[in-house]
A and B are shown apart, each in its own frame.
Chain A
Amino acid sequence: MPVLVEEKSTQIFQKFFVFWDRVGILLAFLVVFVMFGALTPVFFHPLNILNVIRQVSIIGVIAVGMTFVILLGGIDLSVGSIVAFTGIIAAGFQVKWGGSLFLSIVVPLLIGGGIGFLNGFISTKGKLHPFIVTLGMMSIFRGATLLVAQGKPISGMSPAFRFIGAGMVGPIPFPVILFLGCVVIAGIVLKRTVFGRYIYAIGGNEEAALLSGIMVERYKISAFTLLGFLSGLSGLILTSRLNSGELVAGQGYELDVIASVVIGGTSLMGGEGGVYGTLIGALLIGVVSNGLNLLGVQPYWQMIVKGIIVIFAVLLDRLKRRFRTA
C-alpha cells in the first residue's frame, strides 16, 4: 500500500533530522573546538578546559531551566536580573545579616523560585506574553539589586560558601558537577516523567493538551518557577566564585542562555528539542568566548560573533521546519 510507503520514507527523513539534530550541533562544536585548539595551543591545556566548563556551568544551569520554558513556547528575559538579585541576597546573608550558610543558600534559591513563579503566574493568569512580563521583571530586579546593595557590591564570603563556586571535587570543579547534575536530572524528567511529556505536549499544541485534560497553566507556572530556582542557583555559584555580590552580575545572561538553548536545537516555537542539545549549545558558546579571548580578540567582537551564531541557529531551525513540511 503506497500510504505505508509514504510513511516509511518520511520516517527516513525524520531519522535523518533526528540524526542531524543531535550530531549536527555536536559536529559544529567539535569543529570549533579543534579549530581553536589548532590556533592557540594553550586552548587544549587541561586548566583552560576546566576553566571553560566552569564558566559554562554558570550559564548552563540557567539554560537547563530555560529549555523547559522554551519547550513550552515561552521565554524569560529576567534570568540575568534574578542572578544578580539572588546573588546580592546570598552575599547579604554571608556578610551583613549574620553569616548563616544555610540561610545564604536557601533564601536566594527560594527567592529565585518565587520570582519565577511570579513570571509564570502573571503571564498565564493575566494572559500576557511572557516576553513583556519578564522584560518588566528584568528591570524590577536589577533595580531591587541596586536597592538592597545600596549601590555597592558586597564582598567577603565564608570559605564554606566559597566552595559552591570555587570548590573542587577531585579534579572537577563543583559548579560543573552541579551543572551536569542538572542536565542529567532534567534529561530524565523530560524523557521519563509525566511532567516532562506534558511539557512537550503543551509546547506542541496547547489547545490539544488542554482538551486532553492537562492543567496547562499549572505546568507553565512550574516551568517558570523551576527556571527562577535554577537562576537562583546560578546566582549562588557566581557570587561564590567572585567572592562578591556584584551589581552588574548576570547582565546580558539572557542572550547567552537563550542562545545555548536555541543552538542546542530547541525550537523557539516550542514542543521540540531537549536538554542535551542545550548542554552542547552552552559548551559551544563557552568555547567560542574562551577561544576568542585566547586569540586576543577584543571582547566587543565576542558579542558580535555570539549574535551571529544565534541568528544562524534560528535560521537552521526554520529551514528544518520548512523542509519537513514540504
Chain B
Amino acid sequence: MSDVPILHFEKLTKRFPGVLALNGVTFSIRRGEVHALVGENGAGKSTLIKIVTGVYQKTAGEIFFEGKPVNFSSPHEALKNGIAAIYQEFNLIPALTVAENIFMGHHFVTRRFFVDWNRMRKEAQELMRFLDVDIDVDQKVRDLGVAKKQVVEIAKALSHRARVLIMDEPTATLAQKEIEGLFRIIKFLKSEGVTIIYVSHRLEEIYEICNRVTVLRDGQHIATRDVQDVTMEDLIRMMVGREVVERFPRVSHTAKGEVLRVEGLTRRGVLENISFSLRKGEILGIAGMVGSGRTELLRAIYGVDPIDEGKIYIRGKEVRIRSPLDAINHGIALLPEERKVHGLVLLLSVLDNLGLPVLPLVSVRGFIQDGRLRAIAQDMVQHMNIKTPSLFQKVMYLSGGNQQKVVLGKWFARNCDIYLFDEPTRGIDVGAKVEIYHLMNRLLERGASIIMVSSELPEILAMSDRILVMREGRIVGELSREEATKEAILRLALGRREEYASVG
C-alpha cells in the first residue's frame, strides 16, 4: 500500500477556450513527501492545483488519489476527502475568532442548533498545541499577523483531517524568522505523515525543505526529480526553457551627488527619527522584517501618509510633500508592494494604466490628445518589453511580470528620477525578475536613483550599493556592499544575537 503514490496524475489535460493550460501532465506525488511544484507564471501550476482541489474540472486524463480515480466537483468535496489548499489570499473571516475559523463549516453543535463553544475551543487549543504554536484561540483573526493567520489556515486544514496540504507561495508575505517557523511546522507535518505540495518562486527554499521537485512549463510536465539530484541552474533552465545567464545582473555604477536627503522623519508609533541620504545613480536597499516600517517609510516619503516631524530635501532644497501628486512633481515615483491592490487598475487597459500619471501632460484644456497618449504608451510597451496583444488589453489578463512592467512604465513616461521600489519582484517568475533588474539598471544609467525595499535577501544583497536595515520603525544600521552579508543583515534586523542564532 505504501508504495502507491498518494496522488498520481495521468495525462491530465485542461483546456480553457483557446488555451491548453495543462497538456497531458503525468507525474506522481509520494505519500509523506514535501513536493515542490515550480514553473513560471502561466506554466500551469495554479491550474493543476485548482483541478486537484475541485475548483476546476479537468478536460481529459485521470487523477488517482490513494490509487483510486477521483474527480472532485468542489473544494468542499476535496476537503472532505482530505485534500486542502492554502492560497496566498487567506480564506479566513477576520471578525471571527481563531477557533471559529478553524471549525468554519463544521462547527460542533449541541442539540443540533447551539454552537458547542467549549468543545470547539478545546479542540482548537489542542491543534495549536499539536503544531507547537502560541496562539490564543479566542482572539479575533483580524488581530493576527500574517504568519499566525497562516498557522490558523494550517490548523483549519488539519481539522478536516487533511492528508494532502497544498501551499501556494506560503512564504511570499512572511519575514525571514516567520519562514523558519513555517518550515518547522512543515517538517513536523511531514513527520506526521502529511503530504505537502509546495509551490514557490523562491528556489532556495525548495532545497531547504522539499524532497522532490516537479517542473512545469507552458502546461507541460518537464521533469520530476529528487531535489539533491538537480542544481538550481538546472531548475531555472528547465523552468524558462533557456539559459538564464545571470540571476542578478547588477551593473556597477558610480554614484555621485546627493539627490534625496531625509532628516529626522517621524510618524508617531510607526517611524522614529529616520535620517538617510540617497545618491544619484545608486540602489539603496532597505532590509528588515515585515512590519519594521520599511513600507511605511516609502509611503511617508511619497506623501501617502502624513509625517509628524522631519524634513525632506531633494537636490539640496527642502520640499514639502503632502500628497503623491506633490511627490510626483518632485520626480519621485512609488512602485507599491502589491501590484494588484495598489499599483494597477485591473479593469482598465494597458493604455489607461500607462496613462494614469501622464494624462495631464498629454491633454489640452482637459481633453486628452489620443495620438500623443498612444504614442507614449506604445513607446513604453516597446521600451519595457511588455508582452500584450494590444494597448487595449485589460491589465488583469497580463502575467505578473508584465503587470509589474506596466507599473514601472507609468513612471518612465513621467521622467521621474527617484524610484521607490517596494518588493519589486514579489510573485514574479525568474525570467521576468531578471527583466525587472535590467530595467532598474537602465533607470540608473539614465541618471535615476532607486530605493528598494525587499524581503528577499539574495536580491537585496546582489542589487544594492548600500543597505539600510530597519527594525521597529528605526534605521538600526547601514551596510556597504562589501560589509553586507545575509548574517549581518539578520543580526541587525533581529536586534538580539541569541535570536539571530536561533534563526541560523
Contacts and interface: CB of A to CB of B under 8 A. Distances in A.
Interface of A: 1-14, 192-195, 197-198, 200-201, 204-205, 207-215, 271-272
A204, A208, A214, A215: most-surrounded residue (chain B CB, <10 A) = A208
Nearest to A198: B359
Contacts of B363: 193-194
A3 B387 contact: yes
Interface stretch (B182-190, B377-385, B389-397, B483-491): B389-397
Interface of B: 16-21, 42, 218-219, 302, 304, 323-325, 327-329, 334, 336, 341-348, 352, 355-357, 359-360, 363, 366-368, 370, 387-390, 393-394, 397-399, 410
A310 to B, nearest CB: 23
Contacts of B397: 6-7, 10-11, 14
Contact of B19 (A2, A200, A271): A2
Contact of A9 (B17, B219, B356, B357): B17
A5 B387 contact: no
6 contacts: A194-B359, A194-B360, A201-B348, A205-B341, A205-B342, A214-B356
A201 B342 contact: no
Nearest to A269: B347
Given A7-B388, A10-B397, A209 B356 contact: yes
Contacts of B19: 2, 5-6, 9
Contact of B17 (A12, A192, A210): A12
Contacts of B389: 4, 7-8, 11
B420 to A, nearest CB: 10
A184 B239 CA distance: 52
Contact of A8 (B18, B42, B342): B18
Given A8-B18, A9-B16, A207 B348 contact: no
B387 A201 contact: no
Nearest to A324: B396
B218 A207 contact: no
Given A10-B18, A210-B304, A272-B347, 13 more contacts: A11-B390, A14-B397, A193-B363, A194-B360, A201-B345, A201-B348, A205-B342, A205-B344, A205-B346, A205-B347, A211-B304, A211-B342, A214-B325
Nearest to B324: A213
A208 B360 CA distance: 17
Contact of A212 (B20, B21, B357): B357
Contacts of B410: 212
B360 A6 contact: no
Contacts of A207: 336, 341-342
Q: Which of B344, B356, B363 has the largest number of chain A CB atoms within 10 A?
A: B356
